[in-house]
Amino acid sequence: MATATIIDDGSASGSPRSATIGETSTKSGADERRAGWWFSAPFLVLYLAFLVGPAIYGVVMSFSNATTLRPGLGSAAGWANYREVFASSEFWNSMGHTLWFTVLTTPPLVILAFVFAILADRLRHGRGLARFIFFAPYVLPVTSVTLIFTFLYAGEIGLIPTIFTVLGLEPPNLLGETSWAFISVAVLTVWWTIGFNFVVFLAGLQEVPRDVYEAAAVDGAKPGRTLWSVVLPLLRPTIVLVVMLQILASLQVFNQMYLMTGGGPGTSTRPVMEFIYDSGFSDARAGFAAAATMVYFFAVLVISVIWYLLRRPARKGAGG
């Protein structure tokens, strides 16, 4: 139910209602609108004060030599910050790390969540228990999760290196070597956040009417065929939503990277969010960090728009 509402953007449910009001009385319609603004006012005030305002201030800041060490914006910088961002290999490396993390985490988080949801949906008994088991890690705070996985990964004393040693193998340097560090954090992220996608998929699967399955069975479709030709098309809006949310979530990686590797070894796993944090806070270069933020924001915006354009046919298909 929840997924359907988000996908349809309210266009289906919103328009008929407003039409009815318009017919009954124009005055009450205006009243309604005015009341609507009043009811939205608390939200709008907060939205303007804490989102739109700071965002605009951030744009202005990106053209200045602002620092967290002095009040105000400091001297004007023109495009210097942007030139430095575009020329900074550290920035583009960190963008690459974020992208690589997204590539590493999105497929397993979508595919595994889907597979687990299909399996859980087939359960006759204990579906609630399965849902709980998969969702439970998602509830844990990031600090607890990273602590657990640090104990698993840590060199010399961790569980996984110990298993390697017991088997007579050379244990990999799971957090101290770049390629392993990415995989280690990706595995943590999959374990930690798969529950959310799983629950969304499960909800989507339960939306599929039982009689569709029955009809497919009566027509003699095998389970694989039912899944491919019946369930997948019906689940398409949910899949589109999960992939989009997952890409956006992975592009925003910061916490688990920061806590597990600190972007290390060196800056070789540092995600772009940490680059911005380091520039803005550790180095106190707020103007430069704001410029980096704007470039990053633009990149995420482009990805979102491309995805939006790609999924438009899907929406038409679902709506039609």
Partner 1 sequence: MAMQTTANAAPTRSGQRPLTRRALLTAGAAGLAGLAAGAAGCGSPVERGLLGTGSQPNSLVYWNLFSGGDGENMTKMVNNYSAAHPDVSVQATVLSWGTPYYTKLALATAGSSPPDVAVTHLSRLSTLAGNDLLQGFSADQLAKAGMPAGNFTPAAMQKSTVDGTIYAIPLDTHPFVMFYNVDVCREAGLLGADGKLKPIKGPEQLQAAFAAAKKVTGQYGAVVAVTNDPSTNWRWFATLYYQLGGQVMSADGPDVKLTLDNAKAEQALGFMRQLTASGLMPGTVDGAGVTSLFSTGKAGFLLDGEWQIPTYANTDLKFDVVPVPHVFGPKPVAFADSHALVLPRNSAMDDAKRALALGFVKFLLEDSLVWAAGGHIPAWLPVQRSKAFTSLTPQSNYVQAALTAEYDPPGWFSGAGSQFENVVGAAVASCQNGSASPAQAVQAIRSGLQPYLDAPAPGT
Which one of the spans 123-131, 230-238, 279-287, 311-319 is the region binding partner 1 (CB under 8 A)? 279-287
State phi, psi for 160 to the nearest 5 degrees: -70, -50
97 binds partner 1, rule: CB under 8 A: no
Whole-number minimum distance, CB 222 to partner 1, in Å?
Answer: 44
Site for partner 1 in 113-132 (CB under 8 A): none
Whole-number minimum distance, CB 225 to partner 1, in Å?
Answer: 42
288 binds partner 1, rule: CB under 8 A: yes
Whole-number minimum distance, CB 146 to partner 1, in Å?
Answer: 11
29 binds partner 1, rule: CB under 8 A: no
Q: Return d(Cα 268, Cα 88) in angstroms, integer.
A: 15
Amino acid at 18: S
Site for partner 1 in 47-66 (CB under 8 A): 65
For partner 1, which residue of 47, 57, 86, 281 counts as binding (CB under 8 A)? 281
Amino acid at 73: L
Whole-number minimum distance, CB 195 to partner 1, in Å?
Answer: 27
Interface residues with partner 1 (CB under 8 A) are 31, 65, 67-71, 74, 84, 88, 90, 150-151, 154-158, 173, 175-177, 260-267, 278, 281-286, 288
